[in-house]
Chains A and B, each alone.
Chain A
Amino acid sequence: MALNFANNNSLSAITTLPASISGGGMTLISEQTASSSASISFTSGIDDTYDSYVFKLYNIHPADNSANLRFNLSVDGGSNYNVTKTSSAFAAWHKEDDSGTSLAYNTGNDLAQSTDPQRILFGGLDNANDGNGCATLQLFNPSSTTFVKHFMCTAVKNSYHPYAWNTFVGGYGNTTSAVNAVQFSLDSGNIDSGVIKLYGIS
């Protein structure tokens, strides 16, 4: 069937493309919006379709002051978030009154063969109305049954102190089982608001 070109080869009225057309290298799989949520879990769409996945976190706002955002991994579709992880963590921060700066490793935010959630927005989020944090979390080849599961996260937030924080985390889920679900939560209180988007990288 030939396409009728109606307007000098543009397709301004088209709202969907067939599945056979690639949407580019970065495909939005799903997104969730927090609303006084104890946790946000992605229990579908994480499989062998893509070699790597990216979570983008927008304006994560805590209900409780000084809470830290964490994530954990699941190998059973979200029944349990308890994958053993080893990670490193460091951060740069700068006070709003210009009275202090730092770039240092953060032993309180790394993990050594622990099943605890991994902090990514650490240093204490501010629950004032304008307080929030944003982050990008990469998860490599979660469906592998050969390799451990590497992740890297870079995040920025304004803390309750108030400081600007730039946080860096790298690590691996030390499992050769396929990771198929990811959960985000705070270490205190609910996620009052915010958006988390999951992308697959083809």
Chain B
Amino acid sequence: MALVKYNDNSISAISSAGQLATGSLVPIKTLTASSSSTLSFVHGTDGVVLDSTYPIYKFEFINIHPATDNVEFQVNFRDGSTDYDATKTSTFFRALHDEADTTTALAYRTGGDLAQGTGFQRLNEGIGANGDQSVSGELKLFNPSSTTFVKHFMGKFSGCNAGDREDTTYVAGYCNVTVAIDGVQFKMTSGNIDSGTIKLYGIKDS
């Protein structure tokens, strides 16, 4: 049976794609900071999906701006309770270059990694709070709903350091738990997230 075409192969009356494939990067939820102490993505809350629907989830960070100068942006994960305290082991390194062209570095940062720690994972170092300073980047979380494997994450960020320099940071690690991760929370080491946007995507067929 042939398909009835209404408008030279377009379907102008359709307003929702339903199950029609529309690309692999699927927007799930956007949170916008406004002097926020934390920003949290919890599965089943306010439209957040963080389960077996997607094998990989990606957070994108746009101009995360701290209220307090020289603080770190951080993440933690929820693993079966309402607390964000999943045990994590991770690596953290950075490249930096200052605007005055006096300092460059590429180095592992022991202050940014975790060894079976339950505290928050650092995502960058020393963001400046000047009006034009912020940090942007991405963080991927792999198969958070697995009850077999530990939960890997990887992120990279470019930030304006309080010392007027560019810091690019790379973080990778795993939540060393075999229960599902069903919530992810972001906050600063001190003070509020003054402004900024965090977007959660699911990556289909990945």
* Contact surface of A with B, Cβ cutoff 8 Å: 1, 3-4, 6-7, 11-18, 20-27, 51-52, 86-90, 103-105, 107, 110-113, 138, 140-141, 144, 146-148, 150-152, 154, 168-172, 174, 176, 201-202
B111 touches A (CB below 8 Å): no
Q: Is the CB of B25 within 8 A of A201?
A: yes
A24-B22 contact, Cβ under 8 Å, with A140-B62, A170-B166, A171-B166: yes
- A111 CA to B10 CA, complexed, in Å: 48
Give every chain A residue within 8 A of B4 (Cβ-Cβ). Answer: 4, 6
Give every chain A residue within 8 A of B160 (Cβ-Cβ). Answer: 148, 172
- A103 CA to B13 CA, complexed, in Å: 55
- A150 CA to B161 CA, complexed, in Å: 12
Q: Which of B76-105 contact A (CB under 8 A)?
A: 95-101, 104-105
In the complex, residue of chain A having the shortest beta-carbon distance to the beta carbon of B100: A112
B145 touches A (CB below 8 Å): no
- A172 CA to B166 CA, complexed, in Å: 7
Q: How far is the CB of B82 from chain A (nearest CB, A)?
A: 29
Q: How far is the CB of A46 from chain B (nearest CB, A)?
A: 15
Give every chain B residue within 8 A of A151 (Cβ-Cβ). Answer: 158
27 A–B contacts from the bound complex (CB under 8 Å): A3-B11, A7-B1, A11-B20, A13-B2, A13-B5, A18-B12, A21-B22, A25-B23, A27-B23, A51-B62, A86-B99, A86-B165, A86-B166, A88-B95, A111-B97, A113-B99, A140-B63, A148-B132, A150-B63, A152-B157, A168-B95, A168-B168, A170-B95, A170-B156, A170-B168, A171-B97, A171-B166
In the complex, residue of chain B having the shortest beta-carbon distance to the beta carbon of A169: B168
* Contact pick for A112, options B62, B65, B97, B138, CB 8 Å: B97
Q: Is the CB of B201 within 8 A of A25?
A: yes
| Other 15 A-B pairs with CB < 8 A, given A24-B25, A52-B136, A151-B158 | A6-B2, A13-B2, A14-B10, A24-B26, A25-B25, A25-B27, A27-B23, A88-B96, A88-B168, A89-B95, A112-B98, A152-B137, A152-B157, A170-B166, A176-B132
Interface string of B141-179 (1 = CB under 8 A from A): 000000000000000111110000111100000000000
Residue among B25, B27, B131, B136 with the highest chain A CB neighbour number at 10 A: B136
A86-B136 contact, Cβ under 8 Å, with A21-B14, A24-B25, A141-B62: no
Please classify how large the interface on chain B is, using the bins under 10, 10 to 19, 20 to 34, 35 or more: 35 or more
B197 touches A (CB below 8 Å): yes
- A201 CA to B13 CA, complexed, in Å: 25
B45 touches A (CB below 8 Å): no
Q: How far is the CB of A108 from chain B (nearest CB, A)?
A: 11
In the complex, residue of chain B having the shortest beta-carbon distance to the beta carbon of A50: B62
* Contact pick for B101, options A7, A16, A113, A152, CB 8 Å: A113
* Contact pick for B158, options A103, A144, A172, A174, CB 8 Å: A172
A17-B2 contact, Cβ under 8 Å, with A25-B27, A88-B97: no
Q: Is the CB of A17 within 8 A of B132?
A: no
